[in-house]
């Protein structure tokens, strides 16, 4: 793949990741929305309105905002020549995102979710298992249900 084509795909994916995270953070900012409250309870077991959950809620908000902010920082990508079982990956302690040869051939929604996943490893320093919970929550939090506004 020509370098400029890969670069334009990565640029677009980075912008889309910012948009996804903007939606999540906007949704999480609506405290008195029953749909948001229920989803946060279902996914994170945190009740936005409970005083004894305030610290966990603050940390959750902070983490999502930090993740969004991390896409405004200098991002370094390495396009690897080989395919890999991972579409992309990071090495612990190193913010460089490695993209496998099949990255640009994968659907945009998968690529963007993976980029957010890898940034979460780097800036939140959280485990793969924790991110497996975090990522489906993007889908839930950005999806409007029939009953929500
Ligand atoms: Zn991971």
pLDDT digits (tens, 9 = 90+) for 121-140: 999 988 888 777 776 677 66
pTM, whole model, 2 decimals? Answer: 0.86
How many other C-beta atoms lie within 10 A of the C-beta of residue 70? 19
Q: What is the DSSP letter of 98?
A: E
pLDDT digits (tens, 9 = 90+) for 69-117: 999 999 999 999 988 888 999 998 899 999 999 999 999 999 999 999 9
From ligand 1's centre to the CA of 52, what distance in Å? 30
Instruction: Please identify every residue whose CB atom is under 5 Å from ligand 1, which is an ion.
Output: 128
From ligand 1's centre to the CA of 89, what distance in Å? 7
Share of the chain above pLDDT 90, in %: 62
pLDDT digits (tens, 9 = 90+) for 25-53: 999 998 788 988 998 998 889 999 999 99
From ligand 1's centre to the CA of 135, what distance in Å? 10
Residue 143 has what pLDDT?
59
From ligand 1's centre to the CA of 39, what distance in Å? 23
Where along the chain do its domains lie?
A: 2-142
Domain 2-142: homologous superfamily in CATH = Collagenase (Catalytic Domain) (3.40.390.10)
Cα separation, 149 vs 133, whole angstroms:
25
Q: Where are the alpha helices (DSSP H) in 45-92?
A: 54-69
Burial of 72 (0-12, 13-18, 19+ CB in 10 A): exposed
């Amino acid at each position: 793949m020509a370098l400029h084509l890969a670069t334009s795909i990565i640029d677009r994916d980075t912008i889309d990741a910012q948009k996804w995270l903007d939606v999540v953070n906007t949704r999480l900012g609506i405290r008195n929305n029953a749909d948001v409250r229920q989803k946060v309870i279902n996914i994170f077991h945190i009740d936005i309105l409970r005083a004894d959950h305030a610290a966990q809620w603050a940390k959750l908000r902070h983490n999502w905002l930090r993740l969004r902010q991390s896409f405004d920082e200098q991002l370094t990508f390495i396009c690897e020549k080989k395919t890999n079982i991972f579409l992309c990956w990071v090495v612990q302690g190193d913010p460089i995102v490695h993209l496998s040869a099949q990255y640009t051939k994968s659907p945009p929604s998968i690529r963007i979710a993976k980029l957010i996943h890898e940034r979460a490893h780097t800036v939140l320093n959280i485990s793969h298992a924790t991110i497996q919970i975090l990522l489906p929550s993007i889908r839930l939090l950005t999806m409007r249900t029939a009953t929500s506004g």
